[in-house]
């Protein structure tokens, strides 16, 4: 050790140091084992190979694609195809089964609800909300009042062809703008509205001639909403006797509805979604709780 630089040897352990010093702390020199060093070199080689083989470097508007032609999108497509194949049997069964059968078979019901929920989340939730709870003028699908009917068949029809769109089978028939189009004189509209309020067992504000209201209702509204205001799902006329008001149930909102009319729309999904998916959606919506 004669020529050895003893200042670089740690006095306590006798191990030489790397010569680096931080705040008086010197680092002991404990070299890596050789195999470890080799692993390090192998990793470098691997890294270079990876960059050549796989997509790696970002370029201005694209990226280096790698000689293997790998793309994660392909993998997704393979996975999706596999998923579809896996579901194939169940989907085929649902396609040939009636809605009633799907709803009454525990296994199909489970699959339909899961499939329907997913389809609802991507296609229907933007309007009706994630839990079909309804948002502003888009109805809540959990409750038991349906403008176009809440049976499996009726819901199926609505989802397939939609409401008030160009499809010939879509639901048609708007609520006319009685005020704007001069069907009911402006002054009489509050009278009809007051009568409508009474249909759901409430008292209108102020004293109004309810008999006149009833007459006006019979003349103008009963053809769709029925004599007793119970509604008619064939023309999308909701019941006026319940606690559920899509466009608001207070007198002011009712006046607004009568004066300017209403005509919500919905797209049809047949042709856009797989037949089995539309069926699943139907069963899902029906089993949210309000199905009839």
Partner 1 sequence: MSLAEVPQTPDDGDIPLYEARKEIYPQVVHGRFRTIKWIILAITLGIYYFLPFIRWYRGPNAPDQAVLIDLANRRFYFFFIEIWPQELYYVTGLLVIAALVLFLMNAVAGRVWCGYLCPQTVWTDLFYAVERVIEGDRRERMQKASRGMWDLERIAEKILKHTLWLMIAWWTGGAWVLYFADAPTLVRELVTFQAPVVDYVWIAILTFTTYTLAGWMREQVCLYMCPWPRIQAALTDEYALNVMYRYDRGEPRMSAKKAEAARKVHEPAGDCVDCYQCVNVCPTGVDIRNGSQLGCIQCGLCIDACDNVMAKLGRPTGLIAYDTDDNAERRVRHEEPVYRIIRPRTIIYAALIALIGALMLYALTNRNNVGISALHDRNPLFVRLADGAIRNAYTIRVTNKALDARPFRLEVLGLNAPKFEVIGVPQTGANSTLIEAGPDQTRELRVLVTLPKALIAHEKMDVTFRLTDIVDGASATVRDHFFAPEGDYHHKQDEKNVH
Smallest distance, partner 1 to C-beta of residue 103, A: 6
Spell out, one character per residue from 6 to 45, where the chain touches partner 1: x when CB under 8 A holds, - when not. Answer: --xx---xxxx-xx---------xxxxxxxxx--------
Nearer Cβ to partner 1 (89/166): 89
Burial of 185 (0-12, 13-18, 19+ CB in 10 A): exposed
103 part of the interface to partner 1, by CB under 8 A: yes
Q: What is the DSSP track for 49-72?
A: HHHHHS---B-SSSB---TT---H
239 part of the interface to partner 1, by CB under 8 A: yes
The CA-based angle 26-27-30, given to 5 degrees, is 150
Smallest distance, partner 1 to C-beta of residue 46, A: 17
Pairwise CA distance, residues 228 & 243, whole Å: 15
Contact 173/235 with Cβ under 8 angstroms?
yes
104 part of the interface to partner 1, by CB under 8 A: yes
Nearer Cβ to partner 1 (155/189): 155
The count of chain residues that interact with partner 1, using the rule CB under 8 A, is: 45
Smallest distance, partner 1 to C-beta of residue 144, A: 5
Nearer Cβ to partner 1 (78/172): 78
128 part of the interface to partner 1, by CB under 8 A: no
Q: What is the DSSP track for 126-148?
A: HHH-TTS--BTTBPPSSSS--SS
145 part of the interface to partner 1, by CB under 8 A: yes
Candidates 74, 79, 144, 153; binder of partner 1 (CB under 8 A) is 144
Pairwise CA distance, residues 130 & 121, whole Å: 6
The CA-based angle 210-213-218, given to 5 degrees, is 130
Smallest distance, partner 1 to C-beta of residue 133, A: 4
Using the Cα atoms of residue 210, residue 212, residue 215 and residue 219 in order, give the sign of their dihedral: negative
**Contact set with partner 1 (CB under 8 A):** 1, 3-5, 8-9, 13-16, 18-19, 29-37, 103-104, 106, 109-110, 113, 129-131, 133-134, 140, 142-145, 239, 242-244, 287-290
């Amino acid at each position: 050790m004669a020529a050895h630089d003893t200042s670089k040897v740690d006095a306590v352990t006798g191990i030489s140091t790397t010569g680096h010093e931080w705040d008086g702390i010197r680092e002991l020199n404990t070299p890596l084992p050789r195999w470890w060093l080799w692993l390090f070199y192998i990793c470098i080689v691997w890294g270079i190979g990876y960059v050549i083989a796989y997509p790696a470097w970002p370029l201005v508007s694209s990226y280096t694609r790698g000689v293997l032609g790998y793309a994660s999108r392909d993998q997704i497509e393979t996975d999706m195809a596999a998923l579809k194949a896996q579901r194939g049997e169940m989907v085929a069964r649902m396609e040939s089964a009636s809605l009633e059968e799907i709803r009454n078979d525990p296994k199909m019901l489970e699959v339909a609800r899961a499939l329907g929920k997913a389809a609802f989340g991507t296609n229907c939730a933007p309007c009706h909300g994630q839990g079909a709870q309804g948002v502003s003028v888009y109805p809540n699908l959990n409750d038991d009042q349906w403008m176009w009917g809440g049976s499996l068949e009726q819901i199926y029809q609505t989802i397939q062809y939609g409401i008030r769109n160009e499809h010939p089978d879509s639901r048609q028939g708007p609520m006319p703008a009685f005020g704007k189009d001069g069907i009911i004189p402006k002054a009489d509209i509050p009278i009809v509205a007051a009568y409508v309020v009474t249909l759901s067992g409430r008292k209108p504000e102020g004293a109004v001639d309810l008999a006149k209201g009833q007459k006006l209702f019979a003349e103008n509204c009963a053809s769709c909403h029925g004599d007793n205001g119970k509604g008619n799902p064939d023309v999308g006329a909701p019941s006026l006797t319940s606690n559920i008001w899509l466009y608001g149930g207070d007198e002011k909102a009712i006046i607004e509805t009568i004066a300017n009319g209403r005509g919500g729309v919905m797209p049809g999904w047949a042709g856009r979604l797989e037949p089995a998916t539309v069926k699943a959606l139907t069963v899902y919506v029906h089993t949210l709780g309000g199905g009839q």
